[in-house]
Structure 1
Amino acid sequence: MGRRALKRIDKNLDYGWHLLEFEDLPESCTSQTLFGDDAPLEFEIGSGKGLFMRTASGAQPEHNFLGVEISFSYARHSAARLAQAERTNARMLAGCGQRLLREFVPTDSLEAVHVYFPDPWWKKRHHKRRVLNEAFLLQAHRTLRPGGKLHFWTDVQEYYTATLELIAASVPLDGPHDVPATPATHELDYRTHFERRTRLADQPVYRAEFIKLRAE
């Protein structure tokens, strides 16, 4: 299914600080270099319209959040929504999340990595394009602090099962831990817009949480 058209951004809204591209990044992406403080830093890979970024940054103002979205128009839309909500603890990067982890994120520095409803790349010959591949998992494990968490949700059971098997074979993460569904209390009380659409259609959502083991 193609992505829906985005609402126009208010031309008077200043969202420049909230929208980053790779040329804007510091050599080492940390809370200090991105936000000027030492708060725990969480990444979301594939932020889409940015519902998780808005809700999580509002619910946890003591944490910082960097969302990464490959589509520039969607990254800009999400950045504008963060600016509109006056979030000073959340920013968006337009670009590739795998490159970000590989080239810009120090070891043992992230509180959490979030991956929600990534493109399943249905055809078997395209599975190598999936975000949750071995290279990504190795970088997620490297960059998570001991005790940090990897969150993975999808509506595709095959993708879920295959990814859990890949994680077990690739990286020493504790899990999967179950993540129970919670009732929605209002129209946008969902982790992402895709979760909202899936649950309203009475389709299952497969959720898992993994924890990076602490050194013995």
Structure 2
Amino acid sequence: MPRRPPRKPDPALDLSAHLLQLDGLADPCDPARLFPVTAPVELEVGSGKGLFLATASAARPDHNFLGVELAGGYARLCAGRLAASRAANARIVHGDATRFVRGMLPDACLAAVHVYFPDPWWKARHRKRRVLSEPFLLHVGRVLAAHGTLHVWTDVEEYFGAAMDAAAATGLFAAPLTEQAGTPTHDLDYRTHFERRTRLAGQPVWRAALARGAMNAPVPREQA
């Protein structure tokens, strides 16, 4: 289902502290340097409307949360949400998360990577565009610190199985553990807006957490 056009953030909000442009970042990019306080950094691939970044950064002030969103309107909407809540430990980058992870992040720089409801690319000829591929997951393993965690949620069972197989093929992750979703206590008590819509429609969600092992990743950072 195509996304609805995003709302525009309040024009009175200053987004400069929360909205970053991928092309304006250092290369390589140490994500810890994007925040005013040094803390473990967690990355969300594809942040959409920013619900996860907003709630996670409020719940975990001892961690920094960085999102990457390709759609400019959604990146601005997310930045507006973070600016409105004055989230000092959250930032959104407008740009291609695949390029960021594979080519710009140094080794072992993240405590966690979150991938929630990625585009399943339904047509067989488009499957190569799926973000949760073995080549991408090799780089997720590269940028995760030892014992860091990859979180994967999707409403597409086939994609979930393919992603778990791809993660296993890298040899970098422990066996996936099922993540449990709690009972919502308010209207936005969900990991993402997509999870909210899916669960309210009574549809299943597949969830897993995969711990990074201590072995070295077999791939170097890609350089242009």
In the superposition, the TM-score normalised over structure 1's length comes to: 0.96
Alpha-carbon shift at residue 166 of structure 1 (Å): 1.3
> Deviation above 3 Å: which 4+ runs of structure 1?
none
Alignment match, 1:123: 123
Q: In 2, distance between residues paired with 1:166 and 1:177?
A: 15
Counterparts in 2 of 1:31 and 1:162: CA distance versus 1, 3 Å: closer
Q: Deviations over 1:163-203 (max 9, x none)?
A: 11111112320121011121001000000000000000110
Contact 2:32–2:40 (CA under 8 A) maintained in structure 1? no
Counterparts in 2 of 1:32 and 1:159: CA distance versus 1, 3 Å: closer
Q: In 2, distance between residues paired with 1:92 and 1:171?
A: 30
Alignment match, 1:111: 111
Q: In 2, distance between residues paired with 1:97 and 1:200?
A: 28
Alignment match, 2:222: none
**Stretch moving more, 54-63 or 18-27:** 18-27
What does 1:31-46 correspond to in 2, within 5 Å?
Answer: 31-46=31-46
Query: SS in structure 2 opposite 1:103?
Result: helix
Alignment match, 1:2: 2
Alpha-carbon shift at residue 24 of structure 1 (Å): 1.9
Q: In 1, distance between residues paired with 2:36 and 2:13?
A: 23
Q: Deviations over 1:68-108 (max 9, x none)?
A: 01101101110111000100110101111111112221101
The one-letter amino acid of 2:115's match is V
Q: In 2, distance between residues paired with 1:89 and 1:30?
A: 15
Contact 1:31–1:40 (CA under 8 A) maintained in structure 2? no
The one-letter amino acid of 1:74's match is Y
Contact 1:30–1:41 (CA under 8 A) maintained in structure 2? no
| 1:90 has 2:87 as partner | no
Which residues of structure 2 form unaligned runs of 5+?
Answer: 217-224
| 1:55 has 2:42 as partner | no
Query: SS in structure 2 opposite 1:128?
Result: helix
What does 1:1-216 correspond to in 2, within 5 Å?
Answer: 1-215=1-215
The one-letter amino acid of 1:173's match is F
Which residues of structure 1 form unaligned runs of 5+?
Answer: none
Q: In 2, distance between residues paired with 1:67 and 1:34?
A: 12
Q: In 2, distance between residues paired with 1:48 and 1:171?
A: 30
Query: SS in structure 2 opposite 1:174?
Result: coil
Alpha-carbon shift at residue 5 of structure 1 (Å): 2.5
Alpha-carbon shift at residue 29 of structure 1 (Å): 2.8
**Stretch moving more, 135-144 or 27-36:** 27-36
Alignment match, 2:220: none
The one-letter amino acid of 2:53's match is M
Q: In 2, distance between residues paired with 1:129 and 1:215?
A: 27
Q: In 1, distance between residues paired with 2:35 and 2:104?
A: 15
The count of residues paired between Structure 1 and Structure 2 equals: 216
The one-letter amino acid of 2:2's match is G
Aligned-pair RMSD on alpha carbons? 1.4
Alpha-carbon shift at residue 2 of structure 1 (Å): 1.2
**Stretch moving more, 44-53 or 24-33:** 24-33
